[in-house]
Structure 1
Amino acid sequence: MGSDALRVAAIDLGTNSFHMVVVEIDRVKGIIEIDRVKDMICIGRGSISSKMLDESAMLSGIAALRNFLVLAGQHGVKSEQVIAFATSAIREAKNRDVFIRRVREETGLKVRVISGKEEAEFIYYGVRNAVKLGNSFDLLFDIGGGSVEFVIANNKEVKLLESRKIGVARMHERFIGTDPVSAHEIKLLEQFYAAEMVSSLEKATLLGVRRGIASSGTAQNIARMIRSFEARESDVSLNNSVVTRREFQRLYKAVVPLGSVDRRRMTGLDEKRVDLILPGLILVDMIFRKFNLEEIVISDYALREGMVLNYLQRGFHPLSDNGGQPDIRRESVYELGFRCGWNREHSEHVAKLAMQFFDQLRLLHGLGPEYRELLEYAALLHNIGIFISNSSHHKHSQYIIMNGELRGFSPSETEIIGHVARYHRKSPPSEKHSPYNQLKPKYRNVVDVLSGILRLANGLERGHRQNIYAVSTAISDRVISVRLESHLEPDIEIWAADQLKSWLEMVLSRSIVIRPRSEHA
């Protein structure tokens, strides 16, 4: 850990589970996740109707927190940099002060009970750092055990922060008494959900909301079950993955009629959510239908990450957010680069040359600005595979990108970045390569163009000396002439680029001639 780095642990004492995330905050590297841990102790067990925390649940909670603090200490987190917030179940319990006092006496941890509106605000901070918000308003919702938070926001402002007492543990305790769940109980739940969502729905209708963004374990478990159900890869990151209405309906119809014994046998379903998944599925079904959404995006970040960002905003550390919207995609790319000990100067120089080629060849490749951005990120990350080994590092780069949990990117965007980085050297794209062959034809064409540009840019930075500072191209029917602006004689760069140019020549149906400016000729 560098001298400027700070490590913070954020603990969320939820109704179903206690979670902790440990992050390192560095002035250069940004925020990097070090570890995360969860313990589903169900502190709200039985307390939702009694308003009293159960003694055994309190003991389990204190034991979990003690373990969390040991782990945080092992990661170098100082005790004053552990923040802990309690939500719905503890917030409503009559004996909450007893529990919080016991936690303080037995672990030294100060727990702050937050309001439902504060919880919604922290969730918003977290989600906006994992999923890119646009100009249109989105419905953000977090399904907890005791409450569900609704946020309506875009990349400029927040229009709604609301917390409703319709969490899955609360709803299961209140409405579900039969196994399998009866049609009557489903109807009662739907009516209750509809009544609780009236104000959110009115605001969403007014603002033209079309997309949902879901955080929390329940939402992630639903997404994981859909992956299992659809026989898709289940071990890749869920962040920014999309659940369509059609996919969800298939899962809903298959799971809701089952009894608990049959649900327990389902792959992808967390065994501790066997009962709680029912009110979760019914709620998500209502959200899809009432808000007339076609898709819901999954966010890995929620309350805990929002707690860390709020901690920084309040001035505990000079890296505090200035209140503007973060560029989460770029931050995430740089974080991954730093985690892999990248050569930043080389990577940024290759990216700079790649951008010049992309812009100057636009009439030939016809790709839009969204792909320019992906090319830049692939160029920035093309060499990170050296972190594993120099041999076949292009393949290692692809693996790290695909599994590095980049924030703010859809799965297809991550795939494109990974493939473009994969083909920056050695053999070009080939249908013999199974992952490439499985891409949609439209994305294969994108990878073909972007990898061709990256190969050329990478060749022109072969000596890792940032010698070529600008390129200019002239396009004719048969030839692309490239002129180089360089600090020194660019012999090694021209030699390397000539070896790598053939793929782009084939993709753009032009030969490429590379020459230095006349003073170096």
Structure 2
Amino acid sequence: MSSEKLRVAAIDLGTNSFHMVIVEESEEKGIVEIDRVKDMICIGRGSISTKRLDDGAMEAGVATLRNFIVLATQRGVALHNILAFATSAIREADNRDEFIDMVRRETGLKIRVITGKEEAQFIYYGVRNAVTLRDKPDLLFDIGGGSVEFIIADKSKVHLLESRKIGVARMLERFVTTDPVSAHELHLLQQFFAAEMYGGAAEMAHELGVSRAIASSGTAQNIARMIRLGKHADGADVLNQSSFTRQEFESFYRQVIAMDASARRKLTGLDEKRVDLIVPGLILFDTIFRVFGIKDVVISDSALREGMVLHQIALIRGRDGSSQLDIRRQSVMELGYRCNWHKPHSEQVARLALMLFDELHPLHGLKERYRELLEYAAMLHNIGEFISISAHHKHSQYIIMNADLRGFSPTEIDIIGNVARYHRKQPPTERHPLYSQLKPSHRRVVDVLSGILRIANGLERGHRQNVQSITARIDQERIVLEALTQFEPDIELWAACGLKEWLEEVLGKPILIEARVR
């Protein structure tokens, strides 16, 4: 692959809103988001019934696209690398060619109209770049204004792609005339949604034992945000890979579905332009829970446009656009590069930390998934130096917890941030709010991993990758760590011995650190 930097923008021309994301890809940093913007112009306003795009909506759409192109070019994207894909409303409009020609004449942008199945495929590419798929199949669904795409996939295979014409703008226009929605109209919507879902994805989901869904789109994020704000006064900024259960949704649903527009408008976390659209959105979610037998929903902040841009980059670079990325590792590496990290040092600390985790496993007994979190905390432990050397451990925690790392749950990000926070200076204490709010089992994880990271960081104090390997001998009285080194390890032993006290307390044994020069 060429090391040359490549910038690509992808515009999703949806029924309710136009969105653009701009990313840069390079061999060194991977894929990094540069900018994103949206405008809810409602290009599909009234077109569901008339099958025609409104003149005013088309003019507003052209104006928005003109602004998007200016932004993209100012951000260094060549016009031929600005993609524009049109979905349900434009796809179905009798006068779509008129709008497409208008855009080409006035902006030079060539719009590609994609099928519902193509839309589902791109959504899959986007979602798997934000949420970790499992061995077991999940239901992925994306709620648009005109259509809803359903995908059943696991980490290695797509089992089904389908698109149904049950988007929230379409359903609002077709069924909802009362406010609050009447029992009759609510029942009609439930019946229509269920009828559209039976067969296809629902049947396959039951056959494959699907119990978890991954939802993308503004409607899904709005619902997740409001549910989270109902439980916490804050913490709803980062939604990716957050989740809510069927019980949490049903409690929220019963409360909101009975409200009129003025009451909904006062809900914290609800986008002003979704005050009416949220009604069919809630009924759709409720029906998905029931028809598919879903137990919980995970939120993805990536979908169609992210899938478009990832696929386009793969095509330009001559790669297989369907290949799976290690999104967690890539996201960590991107953050490190953004913060001008010292990569060799960070990778050496991570390597030593993993050796210690493995050697000390008989004592700490932590599960394999925490080994991965230790590696990422070690990789990012020093990124706070990007802000200031002084108290950089605190800055590292702040950056990690606010960087929108992809593929991680909020709890995993909390653990990574806390472990990085305690790689130096004072060890964990319940006087620290971000540590004390963890549940007890996760506080123990942070205790063990931060203790390991402190010693690993000490053994790389000279920033010279001196320590080649570490072995541990555990007996009733103590732990003996032996480091095999390239050179005399005076600085490494001095630093590690000064940082071992916390792990001694956590594991309940004194630690002796020795070295042998190769």
TM-score by length of 1: 0.98
CA distance in 1, matches of 2:39, 2:3: 32
Contact 1:139-1:212 within 8 A present in 2 as well: yes
Residue of structure 1 in register with 2:453 after alignment: 454
Task: Describe the SS at the equivalent of 1:83.
Answer: strand
Residue of structure 1 in register with 2:203 after alignment: 202
Residue 113 of structure 1 pairs with residue 113 of structure 2: yes
Residue of structure 2 in register with 1:4 after alignment: 4
Deviation at 1:310, TM superposition (A): 1.6
Contact 1:309-1:321 within 8 A present in 2 as well: no
Counting only pairs closer than 5 Å after superposition, residues 218-367 of structure 1 correspond to structure 2 as 218-313=219-314, 315-318=315-318, 320-321=319-320, 323-367=322-366
CA distance in 1, matches of 2:357, 2:348: 14
Residue of structure 2 in register with 1:508 after alignment: 507
Residue of structure 1 in register with 2:56 after alignment: 56
Deviation at 1:349, TM superposition (A): 0.2
Deviation at 1:27, TM superposition (A): 1.2
Q: Which amino acid aligns with 2:336?
A: G
Task: Describe the SS at the equivalent of 1:150.
Answer: strand
Deviation at 1:243, TM superposition (A): 1.4
Residue of structure 1 in register with 2:408 after alignment: 409
Task: Describe the SS at the equivalent of 1:36.
Answer: strand
Residue of structure 2 in register with 1:100 after alignment: 100
For residues 120-161 of structure 1, the C-alpha deviation after alignment (integer angstroms, 9 at most, x for no partner) is 000000001110111100000000000000000001111110
CA distance in 2, matches of 1:236, 1:413: 16
Contact 1:11-1:19 within 8 A present in 2 as well: yes
Deviation at 1:3, TM superposition (A): 6.5
Deviation at 1:266, TM superposition (A): 1.2
CA distance in 1, matches of 2:156, 2:464: 41
Unaligned ranges ≥5, structure 1: none
Task: Describe the SS at the equivalent of 1:223.
Answer: helix
Deviation at 1:228, TM superposition (A): 2.0
Residue of structure 1 in register with 2:15 after alignment: 15
Task: Describe the SS at the equivalent of 1:462.
Answer: coil
Percentage of pairs with the same residue: 65
Residue of structure 2 in register with 1:466 after alignment: 465
For residues 230-264 of structure 1, the C-alpha deviation after alignment (integer angstroms, 9 at most, x for no partner) is 23424431000001112111211111111111111
CA distance in 2, matches of 1:225, 1:59: 33
Residue of structure 1 in register with 2:397 after alignment: 398
For residues 284-325 of structure 1, the C-alpha deviation after alignment (integer angstroms, 9 at most, x for no partner) is 011111111111000010000100122133x2124x346332
Contact 2:242-2:410 within 8 A present in 1 as well: yes
Contact 1:355-1:376 within 8 A present in 2 as well: yes
Counting only pairs closer than 5 Å after superposition, residues 132-143 of structure 1 correspond to structure 2 as 132-143=132-143
Q: Which amino acid aligns with 2:328?
A: R
Contact 1:21-1:35 within 8 A present in 2 as well: yes
CA-based RMSD of the aligned residues comes to 1.1
Contact 2:134-2:155 within 8 A present in 1 as well: yes
Contact 2:125-2:322 within 8 A present in 1 as well: no
Residue of structure 1 in register with 2:161 after alignment: 161
CA distance in 2, matches of 1:271, 1:143: 18
CA distance in 1, matches of 2:247, 2:62: 42
Which sits farther off after the overlay, 97-106 or 469-478? 469-478
CA distance in 2, matches of 1:248, 1:86: 31
CA distance in 2, matches of 1:323, 1:71: 29
Q: Which amino acid aligns with 2:294?
A: L
Unaligned ranges ≥5, structure 2: none
Q: Which amino acid aligns with 2:339?
A: C
Task: Describe the SS at the equivalent of 2:31.
Answer: strand
Task: Describe the SS at the equivalent of 1:177.
Answer: coil
CA distance in 1, matches of 2:95, 2:146: 16
CA distance in 2, matches of 1:228, 1:425: 33
CA distance in 2, matches of 1:211, 1:166: 21
Q: Which amino acid aligns with 1:263?
A: R
Deviation at 1:472, TM superposition (A): 1.1
For residues 424-473 of structure 1, the C-alpha deviation after alignment (integer angstroms, 9 at most, x for no partner) is 00100011111111100000000000000000000000011111111111
Contact 1:224-1:234 within 8 A present in 2 as well: no
CA distance in 1, matches of 2:234, 2:333: 26
Residue of structure 2 in register with 1:212 after alignment: 213
Residue of structure 2 in register with 1:370 after alignment: 369
CA distance in 2, matches of 1:478, 1:24: 54
CA distance in 2, matches of 1:509, 1:234: 35
Contact 1:478-1:509 within 8 A present in 2 as well: no
Contact 2:229-2:236 within 8 A present in 1 as well: no
Contact 1:193-1:283 within 8 A present in 2 as well: yes
